[in-house]
Structure 1
């Protein structure tokens, strides 16, 4: 049958004439209107062609009718032109199978993706395929597509990451995908094109992933995502309340103990502000972590040293990287490190050019017990150390000798020697795989 002008235009642009545009035959002119929509929001949309096609395939997983995912997977594989662009790159069967196997994003993963997008210093170009940036953007767009009424945070994050203009192009694209899904769902007689029928016959695994509507990942992904968002928001809210109560308790104790040691408002304000800053640094550190990551000891230590603008010329740091700390230990342990650094800067090894600070740490794995991080802090070469045992201990020493053992089940020892302070702290951690450290080793 001879093609009319409309069909020739579609074939020239898309590489074939999808059955999608043949469903409106009983309404003259309607197919042309659908084509105009497709050109405006999909093909002529200035977003990168391969990104649009990958996004179309991904979002089509949420449609129970399989026409869109089959057809647009075909475009992605070079059966026709991706996003109507004859010059666009295409993908292999292996790449597409991996894309179709991508896990449906759960709420915690969505939270991590949105946090990552919000962390951009300024809007960037649209991400390249197969990058972390594309993964994060796809997860945020999933929320905007599946649960638009609950997607305010995702929209703000996407706008922050790629700019307001690209956000509007993305919204137009999502609207067209939604229209395409609705159209196929209301035209159940829509048949797959012969090129995709043959391709699926040659690749059974591809056919299984495209057509298996019994798999809840494909059929119920939208409902599952809604449930995950609702449930995880409750979990996150409960966890936030728990952490807030803990943090307020730490600040209250900090206030009381600082007030007890200072008789003037000026002295109290200076010390209390510095300790609040130490807590704030931990919160900032936590906010920059990706989902599933934990604060590490070396990261926490170097963060505290950097906050006091100390150089490493007088410091030796020796220990494994990546020793993960328990969430329950963070605030108190961070305050202990803060007190050690402050005392070293004001009175100890970091206050005297000829003195030296050594910080060593190792992890022990006792049989049947949690791993223990052993931190050995030693200052040497400090002149005129005051060794008056009758003086009441300061807040830092109380924190190390009393609060750490009580709150964290730590083992500690703090001493002032003629040439400087030395401290041993043994704290339960989440780390794995380090050489054991003998807790009975003498301090040298």
Structure 2
């Protein structure tokens, strides 16, 4: 649909007043279906008038509108605001004009007469929302993914609504590149609201396709009259040179590309750190094994421990962190250990710092391997107790205190002149790399080890 100048709007307004014909309000020559539509929406949009020429089409469009949009249990004001926000990105301006009308009281928002309406200023604020940048998207996804439990549909004009609209913009404009956006929205809303929202998005896309394939759709006179009185509103709705639809896809793609660059930089940093860990691991393992077979077995086992952490990280949604209890249980499970000889005592959900993860995971791996080969898990009558707690002191980062205690083991003499890699890792690497406090000793009945390391809130 071509752009209407402000003068053209005023001319159409004068013609409408002269003929006293306001499309969407007259009851003459209407069908029962059209009367039903007017009763539900408060007006009879030309969207359904245009379809009436072909038998059955208007009925099908109305059934879709009721199922996916009007009777969708999401809040009415939210549905209408989202419809307006996403309709900004459609080249044909009919949808954004009509749904702005609903928000402004020219009809009922989402077919709900009790939903109330918004002011011109509030609608202009919605129409003027900028496209999300790469840095903003990163923060948006982190906030949406950071809710401890689903929050449901946010209030109008709240930051939560802005975050949700930004994520939904990505899903709507560039759906093929919206994996993270979908995960973030589902995390924030919960499964039920997420699925209803996907139904609504599908209907909005369908509506845009219909208007794009029917570009001769005329604006209703109530909206022509409204825009003729509000030049700024008309400019934002109709001036395609000023509207963002023409470059919305490119702009969001550029934002996503920028975000991917940020993620790639972080990935490169983590890869360099991982390679450094593997190089040190190789050198230390090689220095303590004289045969290729023994070296290969131990080195492969340690690489497997690193790989388990990487697999765990790859399955996390952005913003999540590895937790200590899951890390410990995964390491025990990797060695097919039953818990009959093992007692685990401590709270769940203690989040570990990403920078400490690999080294800490290797320390746990070495403790488990040593217990399997020589310690409590090598002897059916021995026992292993692993307990942990978090200390929170004012002005200090929270500290995880871990106690590893084996009992019932006959231990060989402790050779302190050449400690193994695991003990070296715990006594030297953890304090140096993680600012941990550690103590490791061989007692008459087995290993006793304590580790205190900073963790996240």
Q: Structure 2-normalised TM-score? A: 0.63
Q: Is contact 2:83–2:99 with CA below 8 Å preserved after alignment?
A: no
Relative distance call for 1:57 and 1:32 in structure 2 (3 A) is farther
Distance in 1 of aligned mates of 2:450 and 2:352: 17
Distance in 2 of aligned mates of 1:155 and 1:428: 32
Distance in 1 of aligned mates of 2:313 and 2:276: 19
Deviation track 1:321-367 (CA, whole Å, cap 9, x = no partner) reads 33221110000000100110111122211121211111222333455
The yes-or-no answer on 1:404 pairing with 2:417 is no
Q: Is contact 1:349–1:357 with CA below 8 Å preserved after alignment?
A: yes
The yes-or-no answer on 1:11 pairing with 2:42 is no
Relative distance call for 1:258 and 1:38 in structure 2 (3 A) is farther
DSSP-derived class of the 1:50 partner? coil
Offset at 1:379?
0.7
The aligned residue for residue 72 of structure 2 is 50
Among residues 220, 243, 246, which one is paired with 2:270 in the alignment? Answer: 243
The aligned residue for residue 320 of structure 2 is 293
Among residues 61, 82, 86, which one is paired with 1:62 in the alignment? Answer: 86
Offset at 1:112?
7.3
DSSP-derived class of the 1:243 partner? helix
The aligned residue for residue 420 of structure 1 is 446
Offset at 1:130?
5.0
DSSP-derived class of the 1:61 partner? helix
Relative distance call for 1:233 and 1:69 in structure 2 (3 A) is farther
Q: What are the within-5 Å matches in structure 2 for residues 123-138 of structure 1? A: 130=152
DSSP-derived class of the 1:412 partner? strand
Q: What are the within-5 Å matches in structure 2 for residues 158-173 of structure 1? A: 173=203
Q: What are the within-5 Å matches in structure 2 for residues 279-358 of structure 1? A: 279-358=306-385
Distance in 2 of aligned mates of 1:296 and 1:334: 11
Q: Structure 1-normalised TM-score? A: 0.64
Among residues 242, 261, 271, which one is paired with 1:234 in the alignment? Answer: 261
Distance in 1 of aligned mates of 2:83 and 2:292: 60
Distance in 2 of aligned mates of 1:24 and 1:43: 12
The aligned residue for residue 123 of structure 1 is none
Query: Structure 1 stretch 15-24 or stretch 408-417: which is displaced more?
Result: 15-24
Offset at 1:139?
7.8
Query: Structure 1 stretch 258-267 or stretch 244-253: which is displaced more?
Result: 258-267
Q: What are the within-5 Å matches in structure 2 for residues 119-198 of structure 1? A: 130=152, 142-147=169-174, 150-151=177-178, 173-179=203-209, 191=222
Distance in 2 of aligned mates of 1:40 and 1:294: 46
The aligned residue for residue 386 of structure 1 is 412
Unaligned runs of 5+ in 2: 1-25, 89-95, 117-125, 155-160, 186-190, 225-232, 237-242
Among residues 390, 393, 408, which one is paired with 1:363 in the alignment? Answer: 390
Higher-Rg structure is 2
The aligned residue for residue 188 of structure 2 is none
Q: Is contact 2:42–2:108 with CA below 8 Å preserved after alignment?
A: no
Count of residue pairs the alignment pairs up? 370
Relative distance call for 1:75 and 1:11 in structure 2 (3 A) is farther
Distance in 2 of aligned mates of 1:405 and 1:350: 27
Offset at 1:250?
1.4
Offset at 1:415?
1.0
Q: Is contact 1:352–1:382 with CA below 8 Å preserved after alignment?
A: yes
Q: Is contact 1:379–1:419 with CA below 8 Å preserved after alignment?
A: yes
Q: Is contact 1:405–1:412 with CA below 8 Å preserved after alignment?
A: yes
Query: Structure 1 stretch 293-302 or stretch 169-178: which is displaced more?
Result: 169-178
The yes-or-no answer on 1:377 pairing with 2:401 is no
Q: Is contact 1:20–1:190 with CA below 8 Å preserved after alignment?
A: no
Q: Is contact 1:107–1:232 with CA below 8 Å preserved after alignment?
A: yes
Distance in 1 of aligned mates of 2:110 and 2:402: 54
Relative distance call for 1:293 and 1:156 in structure 2 (3 A) is closer
Distance in 1 of aligned mates of 2:256 and 2:168: 14
* Relative contact order higher in (CA < 8 Å, ≥ 6 apart): 2
Q: Is contact 2:87–2:208 with CA below 8 Å preserved after alignment?
A: no
Unaligned runs of 5+ in 1: 80-90, 94-99, 117-128, 194-209, 214-218, 432-444
DSSP-derived class of the 1:143 partner? helix
Offset at 1:251?
1.8
Offset at 1:307?
2.1
Q: Is contact 2:33–2:59 with CA below 8 Å preserved after alignment?
A: no
Q: Is contact 1:147–1:226 with CA below 8 Å preserved after alignment?
A: yes
